[in-house]
Amino acid sequence: MPEPRRAIEVHEGPRGLWRYLDALADLWALEKRLYPQEAKSRLLADLAFLQRLAGHYAPAPLPILDALASAHHRLSAFKEEENVRDQILARFACTSVGQNSALRIRGERYWIAHGGSRKSPLKLPVAEARVYYEEVRSQLRACPDHMAVALWNELPAILRLGLSGALTPQELARDERYYKILWPKVEGFYQIFSFQAPGYVFPLIKLQGGEPLGREDVSAIRSLIRYQGRWNANRRANGWTDDELPEDQAVNTIGRAVVDVELRSLLVRALVRVGRVAEARRVLGSVADEVASLTVQLDNKKAWGVRVALAKYWAATAHLAANPSDAYAYLRLASVLQPADHDSIDHDPSVDTALTQASKLVGSNVTPGTWQGSPASAEVLRAADALAQAAAKGEATQDVRWRYLAKPITLPAFALHDLAGRTFTLDDLKGRVALVNVWATWCGFCQLELPLLTKVAAEAAKDPRLLVVALNTDTDQSAVEPYLMKRPDIKLSPVLFGEEYFRGLAEDPIAKADIRMAWPQTWLVKDGKVLALVPGFDGSVEPGTWIKDTLSVLTQAATKQ
């Protein structure tokens, strides 16, 4: 395959500069995957080109501004991106690009102000979500002919506020009426994102809030499930999955199962609510194979959403339980699987309430010898207890990011230099448990992770058994010290130059099955062996949680014999 950059230049060049600018964002994403060590330098060169190009116009055209904003975003230069998007919004408010810029500025202002990575409106604090919600509604009124992007961004805010009880019944009813009219106009594209579709958002808010449901809610969920089925069938029929890597195919298969189990679990609860119990049982049985496939993926670190989907499945199963003991077992497992954070939209408070009620009915008869439920529910209860015990110990079943290796990797001997020219060897790790973080100056997520790792290292320094090692993989070692001097929030020692060492491990016939050319990543090392690995911080968990979990993994490894 020719280099993507050259292929796009040849293909788009004759059609004009604007088409080439439109292709740049896809090109950057592809280059990051194919040429990770060169991607940042190429992106910086493109940014310089775009800035020079913008200087030839007064004012700069929209395609150039949009490309500039995208470049800043990929470089995690959020303030610079916000400045460019302000220019777009001032001149192109009622265009798709203008609306997208407005929504980025408004919806992500909180995260930029707090110095964190960008996140969905679903993760905003309630007060910030309310501000965002009102601003999006204002934008919808100002630009009624270009509403798709605003619509797509308002629904997560509605879900966040609705599940938090922060929307009045009148507001919720008004929004639902609005989307019943609007949704058919745009559902052909947006309905592929099931968890942000009206057919998911409004029934879920009603179910968790104890509001009445009607036949139209059931029909909306069914429509969403049918659309998902057609979408997946069309992807296969059109060969869209043919060029996926095997590991990507596996992850995407799990992802489709997660979506299907969540949607059908929601349908089960809706059917029970409207009195169609027999139909609910049939729907629940239709996902038995998918539930079994997801259950074996509980410790798969790439299997996003598995715990949440299974929690929703067992909560739905509890609604069809034959007796209080069975319901208690199913709710107990759902409670263990769902996020402990009560402020998370994936934490269903109705599960907590139902579990408390079921516990009162069951009383103390929850031991194997006195169990009054079915044998199947007894197994479910044992699984819930095992997961709860593992969570209490902080083991890997609770922290789904770490992947513990069935066969630890023995690290080959090394003699690597640090920033001061001192030599660091494998023997320096003897008697200590270490976190070895693989990073590079060009790596965007490394910029987010290294300050957090600095805090982990500061705590680890209090225990002589613990160590944090920063393994730099830049090919140009001279770029490392200037980079760190500009980042006072990064204070790590030792910082070792290990580009060749890391590449050798990633290409080793045995080690490469687990250690891949990916940045950042962290290894848990004890007695010269890699016991576990974790991919880099990407903002999917709160920074404080990430620091706490990482320290917990390190200290527990030092305690275990």
Give the per-residue pLDDT at 480. 93
Q: Is 494 helix (H, G, I), strand (E, B) or coil?
A: coil
pLDDT at 343 over 80: no
Q: Could you check whether the bond before residue 184 is cis, i.e. omega within 30 degrees of 0? A: no
pLDDT band at 1 (very low <50, low <70, confident <90, very high): very low
pLDDT at 300 over 90: no
Distances from the Cα of 148 to the Cα of 100, 105, 137, 191, 394, angstroms: 10, 17, 12, 12, 43
Rounded to 5 degrees, what angle do the CA atoms 211, 212, 218 make? 115
Give the per-residue pLDDT at 377. 82
- Confirm whether 526 is domain-assigned: yes
Least confident stretch, 119-123, 313-317, 318-322, 474-478: 119-123
Distances from the Cα of 440 to the Cα of 40, 223, 258, 292, angstroms: 10, 46, 34, 40
- Confirm whether 429 is domain-assigned: yes
Q: Per residue in 356-411, pLDDT tens? A: 888 888 876 566 566 777 888 888 888 888 877 766 654 433 343 687 888 899 99
Q: What is the DSSP letter of 434?
A: E
- Confirm whether 457 is domain-assigned: yes
Least confident stretch, 99-108, 480-489, 521-530: 99-108
Residues 320/281, Cβ–Cβ less than 8 Å:
yes
The distance from CA 558 to its chain's CA centroid, rounded to whole angstroms, is 29
Give the per-residue pLDDT at 494. 95
Q: Which residue has the tokens 């490392």?
A: 480
- Determine the Cα–Cα distance for residues 374 and 325; give it in Å rounded to an integer: 8
pLDDT band at 271 (very low <50, low <70, confident <90, very high): very high
Write b or e for each residue in 286-323: b if 16 or more Cβ atoms lie within 10 A of its Cβ, otherwise e.
Answer: ebeebbeebeebbeebbbebbbbbbbbbbbbbbbbbee
- Confirm whether 354 is domain-assigned: no
Least confident stretch, 104-108, 289-293, 365-369, 474-478: 365-369
Give the per-residue pLDDT at 13. 46
In DSSP terms, which residues pair with 437 in a beta bridge? 470, 522
> How would you classify residue 175: left for phi > 0, otherwise alpha for psi between -120 and 50, otherwise beta?
alpha
Residues 330/377, Cβ–Cβ less than 8 Å:
yes
- Tell me the mean pLDDT in the region 470-476: 92
Give the per-residue pLDDT at 396. 39
CA atoms within 13 A on the CB side of 278: 0
Residues 453/470, Cβ–Cβ less than 8 Å:
yes
Q: Which residue has the tokens 């003991």?
A: 325
- Tell me the mean pLDDT in the region 31-58: 83
**pLDDT over 90 for what percent of the chain?**
26
How many structural domains does the chain have?
A: 1
Q: Per residue in 151-177, pLDDT tens? A: 667 788 888 888 888 898 899 999 898
pLDDT band at 2 (very low <50, low <70, confident <90, very high): very low
- Confirm whether 169 is domain-assigned: no
Residues sharing a CB contact under 8 Å with residue 76, sequence separation 6 or more, in sequence order: 117, 444, 447, 448
Helices 324-337, 375-393: inter-axial angle, 10-degree rounding: 30
Q: Which domain holds residue 533?
A: 403-559
Neighbours of 138 (CB within 10 A): 13
Least confident stretch, 33-47, 114-128, 278-292: 114-128
pLDDT at 446 over 90: no
- Determine the Cα–Cα distance for residues 340 and 342; give it in Å rounded to an integer: 6
Q: Per residue in 206-228, pLDDT tens? A: 988 888 888 899 998 998 888 88
Query: What rounded mean pLDDT belongs to the chain?
Result: 81
- Tell me the mean pLDDT in the region 99-104: 74
Q: Is the model more confident about 393 or about 236?
A: 236
pTM: 0.62
pLDDT at 272 over 90: yes
Residues sharing a CB contact under 8 Å with residue 112, sequence separation 6 or more, in sequence order: 78, 79, 82, 118
- Confirm whether 252 is domain-assigned: no
Residues 557/531, Cβ–Cβ less than 8 Å:
yes
CATH code of the domain containing 429: 3.40.30.10
**pLDDT over 70 for what percent of the chain?**
82
Q: Considering only CA atoms, which of 478, 349, 495, 474 is closest in space to residue 417?
A: 495
Q: What are phi and psi of 242, to 5 degrees?
A: -65, -35
Q: Per residue in 450-467, pLDDT tens? A: 999 999 999 999 999 999
> Which class for 464: exposed (0-12), middle (13-18), buried (19 or more C-beta within 10 A)?
exposed
Q: Is the model more confident about 366 or about 555?
A: 555
Neighbours of 222 (CB within 10 A): 17
- Tell me the mean pLDDT in the region 235-262: 74
- Tell me the mean pLDDT in the region 82-92: 86
Give the per-residue pLDDT at 243. 57
- Tell me the mean pLDDT in the region 547-557: 89
Q: Is the model more confident about 416 or about 293?
A: 416
- Confirm whether 481 is domain-assigned: yes
Give the per-residue pLDDT at 541. 67
- Determine the Cα–Cα distance for residues 396 and 301; give it in Å rounded to an integer: 10
pLDDT at 319 over 60: yes
Q: Considering only CA atoms, which of 409, 419, 413, 430 is closest in space to residue 516?
A: 409
- Determine the Cα–Cα distance for residues 204 and 198; give it in Å rounded to an integer: 10
- Confirm whether 201 is domain-assigned: no
